[in-house]
Amino acid sequence: MNYRDIPSENLLKIKTLGQLRAAGYEPQTVKQELRHNLIKKLQQKEEVFPGIWGYEETVVPDLQRAILAMHHINLLGLRGQAKTRIARLMVDLLDEYIPVVQGAELNDDPLQPLSRYAKDLVHEHGDDTPIGWMHRSDRYTEKLATPDVSVADLIGDADPIKAATLKLPYSDERVIHFGLIPRSHRGIFVINELPDLQARIQVALFNILQEGDIQIRGFKVRLPLDIQFVFTANPEDYTNRGSIVTPLKDRIDSQIITHYPKSIEIGKKITRQEAHIKEEQEQLVTYNDIISDLIEQVAFEARESEYVDPKSGVSARLTISAFENLLSAAERRALLNGEKATYVRVADFLNTIPAVTGKVELVYEGEQEGAGHVAQVLMGKAIRTQFLKYFPDPDKAKKNKATPNPYKKVTDWFGEGNTLDILNDAPAAAYKKALQQVPGLAELVEKYQPKAEDKEKLFLMEFALHGLAEHSQLSKNRLSSGLQFKDLLSGMFSMPSFGEEEEDEDDF
């Protein structure tokens, strides 16, 4: 039987170097290991990077080619593009267990010992050298590049305490305290946000990438390290905070460019996978695809917005946080009203502003309106875009004299001086009563969305009002605890300026 075909439970029974030789073990580099296991997965049609959506035709094939070529990799992309997640998933391409010299701090291969400790132990005990087994989860090391990272942190330094304890001179290599990179020997080492690493520290990586060895404080010690390097970098960092020094960039074999989801459907998959939704929320709150589409549309609008800095990007964390906030808003309302079940409302969507404001970098940070106003604008654009998927274009309907305007009853009612308040925490009965008082609103939903369930029809009625407001057919003003819809003309004369709020007028 080939050594690699031995079941894990049998491998763990091997306790000495002699038993390991007898099992047919042969050393293999970490890159060979990744390549071998990737080939096996591809041949067996297994999913290589599960949970990574939208990269099936772009990033994942590039990554697989880089692994097959046994390259060091740099994942280049804006924030929230799953760069670190991809790096962590590479661990699954490692063997489940590998043998190590027991007690060695550099994960030494028993047949190719690297450290002084391991070499001495093998020399002394020979085939009786004790062997341990290292799980693949312990072979992944991740370091965030920050300005305070030193060469000693990454590579190592002489340790005066070790020298004093062992009574050794500083010329003895046993006084070396190894840094993170040597202790990642035979594993995957990830440096996140590489451009933030100081240039002199980046220089220290040259030999490791090219020759696979290190030098520490002038010690005449060569450690041929076996490491798969994965770097992540944000293009913004190249100009705003730092850069990757050219010789280091030249030594990184493959640079793979990541990107944001290219469709609403992919965005929804990512959001639902990553959002932390509590079981009681799932049982209490019912939501629909429209509200999920609205959440994703905000991110798409933000990435195209003139207010948002395109170099910074709009992370997928925006939609994840917004979705969590959305369900929490509906949950809170149900708890306040003592309801055992509730259906999401467009008002819940508008209450996700706190999840948006911290996720967008404005082009002009000092602008008067600020992130809160920008978030409202983005949400309004999202409603405007999604509205046209479910109802006719109000602008075209108004101009087309050949067919009746489907919104006329609704707008006429508001034109007669009527107003409608939608309060955030209104009970279900009051919410239903308020929407049903608007003539033509229920008929509008029935005509264009006849298959919708009763609770979804109430949502669609509210959605129609928001859509008409975004298409300048109605006026929508903020109240301290909700929104008020009124005729556009009267709204223009009574609309509060940004930052001001009207007093609540409870029409329920």
Phi, psi of 14 (to 5 degrees): -75, 120
Question: What pLDDT does residue 214 have?
Answer: 67
Residue 395 lies in a domain: no
Residues 190, 92, single domain; the answer is: yes
Residue 216 lies in a domain: yes
Lowest-pLDDT range, 163-172, 199-208, 433-442? Answer: 163-172
Residue 230 lies in a domain: yes
Here the CATH number for the domain that contains residue 69 is 3.40.50.300
CA distance 27 to 216: 26
CA distance 84 to 233: 10
Q: Which tops the pLDDT comparison, 313 or 367?
A: 313
Tell me which of 223, 257, 291 is where a domain ends: 257
**Average pLDDT score over the chain:** 88
Residues 113, 202, single domain; the answer is: yes
CA distance 140 to 192: 13
DSSP 24-90: T-----HHHHHHHHHHHHHHTT--SSTT--S-TTTHHHHHHHHHHTT--EEEE--TTSSHHHHHHHG
Residues 460, 412, single domain; the answer is: yes
CA distance 309 to 78: 12
The token pair at 447 is 């005509």
Number of H helices, E strands in the chain: 25, 14
CA distance 270 to 56: 13
Q: Which residues contact 191 (CB under 8 A, 6 or more apart)?
A: 143, 144, 145, 197, 229, 230, 231, 232
Residues 380, 467, single domain; the answer is: no
How many domains does the chain fold into?
3
pLDDT at 174 over 70: no
Q: Which of 474, 447, 478 minimizes the C-alpha distance to 460?
A: 447
Buried/exposed code over 161-194 (b: 16+ C-beta within 10 A; e: otherwise): eebeeeeeeeeeeebbbbbbbbbbbbbbbbbbbb
Residues 88, 237, single domain; the answer is: yes
**Stretch 209-224: mean pLDDT:** 67
CA distance 162 to 173: 11
Q: Which residues contact 50 (CB under 8 A, 6 or more apart)?
A: 89
Question: What pLDDT does residue 163 have?
Answer: 63
Residues 243, 266, single domain; the answer is: no
- pLDDT digit string, tens, across residues 80-113: 999 999 999 999 999 999 999 999 989 999 999 9
Residue 394 lies in a domain: no
The token pair at 317 is 């964390």
CA distance 209 to 188: 13
Residues 366, 458, single domain; the answer is: no
pLDDT at 506 over 50: no
Q: Which residues contact 428 (CB under 8 A, 6 or more apart)?
A: 337, 339, 342, 343
Residues 424, 359, single domain; the answer is: no
Residues 246, 278, single domain; the answer is: no
Residue 234 lies in a domain: yes
pLDDT at 246 over 70: yes
Q: Classify 270 as helix, strand or coil.
A: helix
Residues 343, 414, single domain; the answer is: no
Residues 226, 145, single domain; the answer is: yes
DSSP 389-423: TTS--HHHHHH--SS--TTHHHHHHHHTT--EEEE
Strands (E), 127-258: 131-135, 140-144, 156-158, 176-178, 187-192, 227-233, 254-257
Residues 90, 124, single domain; the answer is: yes
Question: What pLDDT does residue 500 have?
Answer: 44
Residue 396 lies in a domain: no
Residue 61 lies in a domain: yes
Tell me which of 193, 226, 257 is where a domain ends: 257
Tell me which of 257, 282, 307 is where a domain ends: 257
**Domain extent at residue 475:** 401-508
CA distance 55 to 266: 10
- pLDDT digit string, tens, across residues 417-463: 999 999 999 999 999 999 999 999 999 999 999 999 988 999 999 99
Q: Which residues contact 496 (CB under 8 A, 6 or more apart)?
A: 477, 478, 502
Residue 375 lies in a domain: yes
CB–CB of 302/378 below 8 Å?
Answer: yes
pLDDT at 493 over 70: no
pLDDT at 285 over 90: yes
